[in-house]
Structure 1
Amino acid sequence: MANPNKQKGTAWESAVRDYLNRVLGLVGEYGVFLDPFDAGNVRRPAQEGARDVGDIHAAPFVLEAKNTKRPAVPTWIRQAETEAGHAGFPYGVVVQKVRGAPVAAGRVHVSVRTWTQIRHALGMPADDFAGLYGWAPTVRGLDTSRWYFTTTLRDFADLVGDYRTTGAGAGVHSHAVR
């Protein structure tokens, strides 16, 4: 029998992938890609040994999916950013399952650096960016490496769609209908 924790993790990864593909308009009513060759499709990549490339690719983001009882957000964010680098993507983010809540309520965490880079790519002032996508900061002590921003997967999906349609995501085609 397979490891139950691995099964939970895989189920969460698949749920996030399927949710993003649906919300971004990349699949039809039966969950089949409208264009299987579209680089914008959200996918779970095959792992590549010691140089992990993350759990989910939603270009230009690599998502590290977490379905655990004990959060370790700053550690997870560092992992996601490392894996994004391995995959050749600019942004690594964490998507954490919220127990008993729908997929859309999952929490997406990013470092302050990543948050700022995305905001600059979109050309948005900090207050507008935070308000539009529901970002909330978490500040832990004086060590800024432990600071991060959090939003919901629902708001993050909007961000991915907007990033792709504004030209900030040049080279990534999206079928998102807004």
Structure 2
Amino acid sequence: MTNPNKVKGTAWESDVRNYLNAVAGLVDEYGKFKDPFDPFNVRRPAQEGAADVGDVHAIPFVLECKNVKRPSVPSFLRQAEVEAVNAGFPYGVAVVKVPRAATTRGRVHFTVRTWTRVRLAVGLTSHAFAERYAFTPSLRGLVTGRWYMSTDLEGFAALLRDVRGAR
């Protein structure tokens, strides 16, 4: 018997992957990779071994995708950052589905540290970076480890394009 929560999670991971590949122009009108060997294709890696490597790889990001009723963003971000290290990627972010909303409205969350590292890689001021990609802060109490920055998947897709172009 298939676990319904696993089915929902896998569907969300596939939706995120398919959306990012489509907006990056990496697939044709049938959803097939234009170049299957292009390292910038967004993929769902097979899980191997004890060290989880994340749900979706979008170089240079590992995406930890979550389709849950009650998001726990700080713990999702800790998980994403561990998985990025396991996969050998510089950045780990969490992508949380918004119930009954289009894939583009999914929320992409960054730790403040990761947000700053990506911002510096793109070469923008904090204000310009937040404005360009529609980031909003979540400042939870005085413990800075619980703070994070969020955008939607549409803003993340634009950021992904720019980060890849900055390399």
Q: Under TM normalisation by the shorter chain, which class is it?
A: over 0.9
The residue that corresponds to 2:161 in the other structure is: 161
**What TM-score comes out, normalization by structure 2 length?**
0.99
Tell me the CA shift for residue 88 of structure 1: 0.2
The residue that corresponds to 1:171 in the other structure is: none
| Distance across 2 between alignment mates of 1:123 and 1:38 | 26
| Distance across 2 between alignment mates of 1:96 and 1:71 | 7
Tell me the CA shift for residue 165 of structure 1: 1.4
The residue that corresponds to 1:36 in the other structure is: 36
The 5 Å alignment of 1:12-31 reads: 12-31=12-31
| Distance across 1 between alignment mates of 2:105 and 2:49 | 31
1:88-110 per-position Cα deviation (integer Å, ceiling 9, x unaligned):
00000000000010000000001
Could you tell me which runs of 5 or more consecutive residues in structure 2 were left unpaired when the two chains were aligned. Answer: none
Q: What percent identity do the matched residue pairs reach? A: 62
The residue that corresponds to 2:82 in the other structure is: 82
Q: Which AA in structure 2 matches 1:62?
A: V
2:18 matched to 1:8? Answer: no
Could you tell me which runs of 5 or more consecutive residues in structure 1 were left unpaired when the two chains were aligned. Answer: 168-178
Q: Which AA in structure 1 matches 2:68?
A: T
Secondary structure at the counterpart of residue 141 of structure 1: coil
| Distance across 2 between alignment mates of 1:109 and 1:59 | 17
The 5 Å alignment of 1:6-155 reads: 6-155=6-155
Worse overlay, 46-55 or 13-22: 46-55
Worse overlay, 158-167 or 141-150: 158-167
Q: Which runs of 4+ in 1 moved over 4 A?
A: none
Worse overlay, 43-52 or 102-111: 43-52
| Distance across 1 between alignment mates of 2:42 and 2:16 | 9
| Distance across 1 between alignment mates of 2:144 and 2:58 | 27
Q: Which AA in structure 2 matches 1:54?
A: G
Q: Which AA in structure 2 matches 1:114?
A: T
Which structure carries more relative contact order (alpha carbon 8 Å, separation 6+)? 1
**What TM-score comes out, normalization by structure 1 length?**
0.93
Q: Which AA in structure 1 matches 2:64?
A: E
Q: In the alignment, is the contact (CA less than 8 A) between 2:121 and 2:166 conserved in 1?
A: no
1:77-96 per-position Cα deviation (integer Å, ceiling 9, x unaligned):
00000000000000000000
| Distance across 2 between alignment mates of 1:103 and 1:5 | 18
1:12-43 per-position Cα deviation (integer Å, ceiling 9, x unaligned):
00000000000011001110101000000000
